[in-house]
Amino acid sequence: MIEPKIFSVGQINRYIKNQLENDYILKSLLVRGEISNFKAHSSGHLYFTLKDAEASVSCVMFAQDAVILPFELENGMSLVAYGRVSLYEKTGQYQIYAEMVEPLGVGALQIAFAQMKERLQQEGLFDSEFKREVPRHISTIAIVTSPTGAAVRDMIQIIRRRDSRVKIAVFPVLVQGEYAATDIAEGIKLANLWGEADLIIVGRGGGSAEDLWAFNEERVARAIFASEVPVISAVGHETDFTISDFVADLRAPTPSAAAELATVLLLEERAIQFDLESRLHRGMKRIIGEKRKMLDFLAGTAALRRPLVRVERLRKQLFAQMEKLDKEAQRRLGYAVQRMAMAEIRLESASPLTIMGRGYLAAMDENEAPVVSVKQLEVNDILNIQMKDGKLQTKVIKKAVLPYGEEKTNI
């Protein structure tokens, strides 16, 4: 009896994987569905599920394929994935290994443009507060563009025609292809490092969305935002909009329009200068006329025609004031003398010497302290008596204290 062959799990998974990878349809197919469970791994691999109304299938896109995607995958996005079906032997789960994806309904570049615009706008790269005014009078312009395109020839021709004094420096870069974005960003940095430019024009002529895509790259947008020199973005035609247009200090609809915006027509500048000179001349003439009228008026006044008359009048006024002041001083002095005489009379009448002249005496003890009461002295005390014309020194022989109201004593 023949025993049945027993397979290991690994053998079965390898066999199924081999069958899937060698199937004519499954080794190269397109699958349509909606993204869910999307996850971007730190390694750069992308993991997601494609689903429709009936079923779902796991998908993976390896880093080498994911890095060239012009847009970012998001949950809910409908797309067509190109790849192959294989089996992940470790778990026995089959999945689609996507090599390329294309959004449904909207092109990949449109989605990438919208995603980039929204992200940079949220960061503030489009805010008006960071935009600088383009200088009106420019001496040197740096043009970052292809040196062989028609756009650079048009810009140089227009700048020279409008103002031949402006210097032009072309920084040649690639404006299309895989390395164009890096080249443009480096060109902007070099124009800043050069340090001679008053303005930078970044752009190229018209083309398809793919041709203009370098000006939608993040590195170009950040180079424009970081520029210390004002930047005009001039990419494609008037209907073309790129990320560079939103970041730049000024957007020009075409490269030719950028050249016109960057320069002031020399004839216009000369006309402005002539107008300013005319206005200055008229203003000076008006001021001189007004000052001349004022001078004529002052010259006709009496003060300037007969200056001594005014001096004589002022001199008389001064003498009158001096006479008035002298009279007032005499009056006040006489009044002060009268008051002093009256004060002397009052002082004289209140003087102790005057009182003593009427027979009154002043008594003091040995210490020259005034004696106003008999009670202050005892018999044999020395008493000093001040009279009008001199002093006496006596001794108390007797004393009598009179009661209140009694006026006689036997002393």
Statement to judge: residues 91 and 146 lie in one domain: no
Neighbours of 234 (CB within 10 A): 30
Q: Which CATH number fits the domain that encloses residue 146?
A: 3.40.50.10550
Q: What does the alpha-carbon distance between residue 384 and residue 382 come to, in Å, rounded to a whole number?
A: 7
pLDDT of 247 strictly over 90: yes
What angle separates helix 150-162 from helix 255-262, to the nearest 10 degrees?
20
Tokens (6 digits) for 180? 């164009």
More confident residue, 335 or 405: 335
How do 362-364 and 382-387 pair as beta strands? antiparallel
367 is in which domain, residue-wise? Answer: 355-395
Residues 118 and 92 occupy one common structural domain: no
Of the two residues 83 and 374, the one the predictor is more confident about is: 83
Query: What's the mean pLDDT in 71-92?
Result: 86
Asked if 242 contacts 212 with a C-beta cutoff of 8 angstroms, the reply is yes
> Is 337 a domain residue?
no
Q: Record the pTM.
A: 0.50
**Chain centroid to CA 49:** 50
Hey, what are 99's tokens? 């090599």
- For residues 239 and 118, membership in a common domain is answered with yes
C-alpha 77/C-alpha 82 separation (Å) is: 15
Rg (C-alpha) for the chain, rounded Å, is 59
pLDDT tens by residue, 110-143: 777 878 888 888 889 989 889 988 887 788 999 9
Rounded Cα distance, 246 and 240, in Å: 12
Taking CA 407 as the corner, what is the angle to CA 403 and CA 408, rounded to the nearest 5 degrees? Answer: 105
> Minimal CA–CA distance to 79: which of 54, 48, 55?
48
Per cent of the chain over pLDDT 90 is: 26
pLDDT band of 268, cuts 50, 70, 90: low
* Residues 43 and 67 occupy one common structural domain: yes
- Highest mean pLDDT out of 107-116, 221-230, 370-379: 221-230
If asked whether residues 52 and 141 sit together in one domain, one would say: no
Q: Is 40 in the same domain as 166? A: no
Residue 82 and residue 25 share a domain: yes
- Residue-wise pLDDT for 288-338, tens only, equals 888 888 887 777 776 666 677 777 788 888 888 988 888 888 888 888 888
Query: Could you say which of 248, 264, 280 is where a domain stops?
Result: 264
Strand partners, 80: 32, 102
- Answer yes or no: do 30 and 118 share one domain: no
Please state the rounded mean pLDDT for residues 371-378.
81
Q: What is the pLDDT of residue 270?
A: 64
C-beta neighbour count of 141 within 10 angstroms: 25
Classify residue 53 by its DSSP letter: S
Residues 168 and 91 occupy one common structural domain: no
Q: According to the model, what pLDDT value does residue 304 have?
A: 65
pLDDT at 246 over 90: yes
Closest by CA to 131, choosing from 247, 243, 218, 222, is 247
Inform me whether the pLDDT recorded for 248 exceeds 90. yes
CA–CA separation, 83 and 382 (whole Å): 149
If you average pLDDT over residues 1-27, what whole number do you get? 83
pLDDT of residue 359: 62
pLDDT at 189 over 90: yes
> Has residue 62 been placed in a domain?
yes
User: What pLDDT score was predicted for residue 397?
Assistant: 83
Tokens of 260: 């016109």
Q: Would 407 be classed as within a structural domain?
A: no
Indicate if 190 and 73 belong to the same structural domain: no
